[in-house]
Structure 1
């Protein structure tokens, strides 16, 4: 069977793309390995009508809605290879199956690379997070830590100041701040610690103390840590698509990539706007582009 569209990734971008295409009566192959980046998060926020929902419940509702359309079929499996063909794309699955589709949407999201700090994963998703917009409200007015090793630190520090004035900035042995940035933060009463972090400690996922390699420590009840975010999509060598400055798949405003028939949505295209609501909207746009392009092709004599 030749599907109208294959969608790789079953997060909010992939699900919303499948929803739009299912409602457009397109035959869709939705492929997802059930390894969402936000699986450790206790709740997702900022998505109207679903604020505070658990990631698992969000996916359950999404799949129930999407698979209610008979033209959408779901595989819970890894995609091991994708090749461009005359008719579109050939996808090889870990199960040994092959699928063929006229169009392809990559909605594979991001992977996180964390600094090597003891205890980090005991608290991540419970009292340590990476997005103030997502979890700042829950940590408002608490004594927090902000850990970042890159140039985005200043931006995040300014944002976090709206949720709490009591936080310290830790660069974990790096020096991403300019002298004027350090001066500005210090003028706001924000302490900057450049000493490498040795460990986080606390109980039952709740942070209590940050320990440094020089033997000092500081009490904190939570905070934010900036992992390095990289696109999960690993098919650039096979498909030859252009990437943007963040490493995502370069697209036009409607999700079309530089490769004919290939589209990207959500975190696969935009590393910076890593939120459910942005991803879902991008999935909708990419699906509309797919449907529009298929329609135009079907009307050619």
Structure 2
């Protein structure tokens, strides 16, 4: 019987693992090594790790785990969670199975992109989804903004801190009268024609070609994808999603399912930030440790 199983090896899961390992809890971290930010070459906004690649971030975390015999890490995928009278049974894709008192679901979210031809060729190299993460690198450059109109207006306001040269591409979505009025007030350029093609080299955007024949030069940009939970493990256990798409839980990630916690974007989808997810992992791990202590389960002697 493990004290806690952490599912998902992003910043929330990694930090939760570290905190519980240091609390002498017998923990297992299960991760399938398929993070959402794997296309990104550098992560930003995390003090002392600004500019670190996602793969290096994970590697450094796992090196730290080697100090703690209470931590076990598995590269695998959890495919089923079975509720038991005391805790849960975990089953994985590779056929492993074990019992655990608590679970922290830290599987994050996945992105649904608008239908823009060859967008994936540029995503993570010159087109990003977070101005706070990548705006500095594109400062004062001619930028494109893609996505659902209401979201892009908000992003455009924020993005002006880094560049004034912005064009919003709605990819065929027409503006409402209220949106047209908002455009006039904000002095933003908007192109509603569907996008025919994005062109560039080695992942660096150069031009946006529209169906109406316009070709607009841009060197990069941002997109506002829709985010949804990366796994249905939580909902299959009976946890409903909140209005932002995260699992219903209290402020420390405790769900209505006894022993099941959520952390990071499994709990709060927005804002999507590395350091915020990591902090969430700390809070949730501490809550798990307190609950185990109240139940009379003390730390292992490992």
Q: How would you bin the TM-score normalised by the shorter chain?
A: over 0.9
The 3 A distance-change label for structure 1 pair 287 and 156 is same
Question: Quick one: which of 266, 280, 283 aligns to 1:282?
Answer: 280
Deviation at 1:242, TM superposition (A): 2.3
Residue of structure 2 equivalent to 1:194: 192
Q: What number of residue pairs does the alignment pair up?
A: 298
Equivalent pair of 2:116/2:171 in contact (CA under 8 Å): no
Give per-residue Cα distances to partners, 1:234-284, cap 9 Å, x unaligned.
124431012111221111111111211110000111111111001000000
Between the aligned partners of 1:183 and 1:142, the Cα distance in structure 2 is 26
The 3 A distance-change label for structure 1 pair 227 and 25 is same
* TM-score normalized by the length of structure 1: 0.95
Deviation at 1:189, TM superposition (A): 3.2
Which ranges of structure 2 fall in alignment gaps of 5 or more residues? Answer: none
Between the aligned partners of 1:124 and 1:299, the Cα distance in structure 2 is 46
Between the aligned partners of 2:255 and 2:197, the Cα distance in structure 1 is 42
- Asked whether 1:139 is paired with 2:124, we answer no
Give per-residue Cα distances to partners, 1:1-25, cap 9 Å, x unaligned.
x000000000100000000000000
Residue of structure 2 equivalent to 1:220: 218
Equivalent pair of 2:105/2:234 in contact (CA under 8 Å): no
Deviation at 1:181, TM superposition (A): 4.1
Q: Secondary structure at the match of 1:291?
A: helix
Equivalent pair of 2:207/2:215 in contact (CA under 8 Å): yes
- Asked whether 1:46 is paired with 2:45, we answer yes
Residue of structure 1 equivalent to 2:248: 250
Residue of structure 1 equivalent to 2:121: 122
Between the aligned partners of 1:48 and 1:181, the Cα distance in structure 2 is 38
Residue of structure 2 equivalent to 1:82: 81
The 3 A distance-change label for structure 1 pair 150 and 247 is farther
The 3 A distance-change label for structure 1 pair 205 and 113 is same
Equivalent pair of 1:109/1:268 in contact (CA under 8 Å): yes
Aligned counterparts, 1:153-164, within 5 A: 153-164=152-163
Between the aligned partners of 2:13 and 2:46, the Cα distance in structure 1 is 16
- Cα RMSD for the two superposed structures: 1.5
Equivalent pair of 1:149/1:172 in contact (CA under 8 Å): no
Deviation at 1:178, TM superposition (A): 5.0
Deviation at 1:179, TM superposition (A): 3.4
Q: Secondary structure at the match of 2:18?
A: helix
Deviation at 1:157, TM superposition (A): 1.2
Deviation at 1:100, TM superposition (A): 1.1
Deviation at 1:74, TM superposition (A): 0.6
Q: Secondary structure at the match of 1:138?
A: helix
Between the aligned partners of 1:299 and 1:92, the Cα distance in structure 2 is 23
Q: Secondary structure at the match of 2:46?
A: coil
Deviation at 1:212, TM superposition (A): 1.2
Equivalent pair of 2:5/2:104 in contact (CA under 8 Å): yes
The 3 A distance-change label for structure 1 pair 220 and 10 is same
